[in-house]
Every structure is written in structure tokens, then in C-alpha cells.
Structure 1
Amino acid sequence: MTRALRLIIFDVDGTLVDSQNDILGAMTHAFERAGQPVPTRDETLGIVGLSLDVAIPRLAPLLDVSLHAQIVAWYKEAYMDLRAKTGVAESSPLYPHALATLRALHAVPENILGVATGKSRRGLDKLLDGHGLRHMFATQQVADHHPSKPHPSMLRAALSETGIDARDAVMIGDTSFDMEMARAAGIPAIGVSWGYHAADVLSAATQIIDDFRQLPACLESLWEISQ
């Protein structure tokens, strides 16, 4: 009996790659240039996953809308400069065992891989090309074309593009935004403990893993239960 196609959707920052140094550096630069207090590390990492036009007002709710937009622009500029200086592999390294796990999942004919990220199209392209991963992801949802997480638009688009039912899909991420987005789309979610939100806030996750190598078995268990 032929197995159904499975859609495995990954968040990027904090799930596939650790880009926190550039995120923190770019945020520091943007707020200092605006003459504003720099958010703490925890505050900055707490908004990773949101689109920048949503994240910056959360970090500085009392600032004028026009200054929010300027901080967003300065952040993007600084982030690109930092990435250009060090290269993708150093500025956004893959987490341990991520590449081997992606290759193993991609090699299974029934698995369709995708990403749903708060990054821009340009930012995702740079990242995927820098790691040689573009060919692995059949559907790529970015902030340019959707409302910010946790709105389910990205996941609904991924399901539509691939023709896969929500019950045969899963979202994998490190933040509460990823988990809430999945729940809103009717998709089970797997949380990862190595990212930017503490595991105890991933309450909407079906399961939480501590190592990429646990993912294949976790997926099999999840889909066995759903049958």
C-alpha cells in the first residue's frame, strides 16, 4: 500500500539555523542609530519569528510609526552587512545534525519539505543558497507575502501549493508563534528545545524534541497516532 504524501514544514531562525548573533547585532545597531534604548537579549530573541513590522512595535510600543519603519530599515541594512562580512555558514550556522536529518527526510519519496519563516524572500534565498538547501524545500513561505506569524496564512498556502491535507502535515519550530500558527491551521506541531523560546512556552506543541536526530522517529510516531 502506497503511503500518503507528508508535508514537513520547518521554521528557519532558531530551528534550522542559529542566527542569533547577527539578529542581536543588527537590532543593537538599529536601536542605537535611532537613539533608543537597546532591547535586552531576551527581549530580542523573544520576537524572533515575527515579521519585522510586527516585531519592532512590540519591542518599542511607544515610538512613532515612522520611527518603527526606520528601525526596520536600519535592522535590515545591518543584518545584510553582518552576513556579508562573515558569510552565511558562519553568521547562520545549521544546528547540530540538522543537515543529515534534512537529507534523510528529503530522501524519503513520500516526504515533501517546506519552510515557513519570518524572513524576507531575499533573506531566505541567501540562507538557502549559502547552505546549498534550496532544492530540498518544495514550498517556501516568507514574510513578504503573508501576515506575520501566528496567523496561519503561511501554512494554508503551503498546504494549497502541495495539495496535502492538514492531517498529513506538521510544523516544526522553536517559538510559541510557530506552535500557535500550526494550531490555527489545524496542523500538528513539533517544538524544538534548542531555539529562542523556552520549551515551557511551547504549550501548543504536540511533542517537543531536544535533538535533531529525534525528529524522524517523532514524525513516525505522530503520524501513526493520527491514522
Structure 2
Amino acid sequence: MHPFHTVIFDLDGTLLNTLLDLTDSVNYALSLHNLPGRTVEEVRTFVGNGVGQLVHRAVPDGTSEALESSCLADFRAHYLLNMEHKTAPYPGILDLLDALGNAGLSLAVVSNKFDGAVKGLCQTYFGTRIPVAASIGESQGVLRKPAPDTVFRALSELGVSPNGAVYVGDSDVDIQTAHNAGLPCISVSWGFRSRAFLAAHGASTIVDTPAALQKLLLGE
């Protein structure tokens, strides 16, 4: 008997390293409006609360609401067409997903990235390992994380109970999301936040490799 029947994953920084494509699209949008670009490390600290907050943090302080809105629209348009150039699963992730699937666990993705991008990336990189129907991003009428709405929608689409489900993510937002959904949380240290940062923000369980995560999820 495995300790969990369902695993709800965050996407960026947990399953996929999307940082370089995100940075390219941020800087493309900024350059269109003659705004200064951002480094990869700056963008790393900006992600996690949806693309609206990503762009808000990327534009200079004092940027007008209208200009910020234009940057956001330009970012979204560019990212949808360019989100698969430099993005890749973290080493060991595909083996992890295969092992979980072979063990009969239900898998889903919830993300603060906009819904079309989430579904597109999951289909491209994971195929049938994670059903597209259980890949959920930010959309109208569904509160983004740390609200638990996307988690509850994923559980509903999978047709499973929250009892026996676990949430896996790489950020403080994910820790808060799991708490708000009433799920245990496993934090991963290979993503956009460090082990020290996760511990300081209340992480109770931290793993450093997909192999270590697999052992926890399957009770090996």
C-alpha cells in the first residue's frame, strides 16, 4: 500500500525548468517599451504568483498601469509562441512520473501560469504521463495559488478524495497552497527557491532529488 493515491504537482521550478524562456519573454516585452531588461536571477525571484505579478515585479517602480498592462499583453503573446525553446524537465523528472504512473498513482499539475501555457507545456513534455484534463492554470473565475481552488479543481477532475493526496512544489506559495487545501506538502530544493528559503517559510519536508521524492511518494 502506497502512502498516497494522488500527487498534485506545481509546474515551474518543480517539474520544468522554465526560467530561461520566462526571462526571454520578460525581456522581449520590456524591450518593446524601452524599459531596462532583467537578469535570469532577478526573474527567478519574480516568479510564483502568476504572470501578472511577474510583469509587475519586472517593470520599473512607478511604471503606469497602462504601460504595465501593455507589457503583460506583450509578454503573454510572446511566451505562448516561445515557451518551449529552452524549457526542459529537471533531470530525473520523467523517470519519477513514469514510476508514479506505473504504481497506479493519479497525477495532476496546478500552476499560477496561465491555463493555456500550462496545458501546452504538460502535453509537450509529459504526454500521457499527466492527463491534460488534470493540468490546471490561472483562468477567469478560478483564484490562483495560494488559494486552494486549482487544487480542488484538479482533485475533482481526477475524481479522487483529498484524503490520501499530497502536494509537491518548490516555493513558499506552494507551501501556503497545500496548507489552504488541507494537504501535506513536500517541498523540492532543485527549483526556484533554495532549501534555506523553503525551511524559513515553513517547509516541513524537503527533498533534494526526484529519486528521493519517489521514495517518499511510494513509501520505498
| TM-score interval for Structure 1 and Structure 2 normalised by the shorter chain | 0.7 to 0.9
1:184 aligns to 2:180 (yes or no): yes
Specify every segment of 5 or more residues in structure 1 that has no aligned partner in the other structure, as ranges. Answer: none
Pairing 1:69-218 to 2, within 5 Å after superposition: 69-83=69-83, 88=84, 90-109=85-104, 111-137=105-131, 139-145=134-140, 146-202=142-198, 203-218=201-216
Q: What is the deviation of 1:96?
A: 0.6
SS of equivalent to 1:141: strand
Opposite residue 202 of structure 2, the aligned amino acid is: A
Contact 2:118-2:136 at 8 Å conserved across structures: no
Structure 2 CA distance for partners of 1:166 and 1:77, relative to 1, 3 Å: same
Q: Distance in 1 between matches of 2:175 and 2:40?
A: 22
Contact 1:125-1:134 at 8 Å conserved across structures: no
Contact 2:30-2:37 at 8 Å conserved across structures: yes
Count of residues in correspondence between the two structures: 215
Deviates more, 1:187-196 or 1:160-169: 160-169
Specify every segment of 5 or more residues in structure 2 that has no aligned partner in the other structure, as ranges. Answer: none
Moved beyond 6 Å, runs of 4+:
2-5
Structure 2 CA distance for partners of 1:128 and 1:134, relative to 1, 3 Å: farther
TM-score, normalization by structure 1: 0.83
Q: Distance in 2 between matches of 1:197 and 1:5?
A: 25
Q: Distance in 1 between matches of 2:40 and 2:125?
A: 26
Opposite residue 172 of structure 2, the aligned amino acid is: S
Q: What is the deviation of 1:10?
A: 0.9
Deviates more, 1:183-192 or 1:45-54: 45-54
Q: Distance in 2 between matches of 1:101 and 1:159?
A: 20
Q: Which residue of 1 aligns with 2:67?
A: 67
Pairing 1:42-53 to 2, within 5 Å after superposition: 42-53=41-52
Contact 2:109-2:136 at 8 Å conserved across structures: yes
Q: What is the deviation of 1:131?
A: 2.2
SS of equivalent to 1:115: strand
Opposite residue 76 of structure 1, the aligned amino acid is: R
Contact 1:188-1:206 at 8 Å conserved across structures: no
Q: What is the deviation of 1:135?
A: 4.9
Q: Distance in 2 between matches of 1:163 and 1:4?
A: 18
Structure 2 CA distance for partners of 1:81 and 1:157, relative to 1, 3 Å: closer
Q: What is the deviation of 1:36?
A: 2.3
SS of equivalent to 1:194: coil
Aligned CA RMSD, in angstroms, stands at 2.4
Deviates more, 1:191-200 or 1:158-167: 158-167
Structure 2 CA distance for partners of 1:210 and 1:42, relative to 1, 3 Å: same
Structure 2 CA distance for partners of 1:136 and 1:81, relative to 1, 3 Å: closer
SS of equivalent to 1:166: coil
TM-score, normalization by structure 2: 0.86
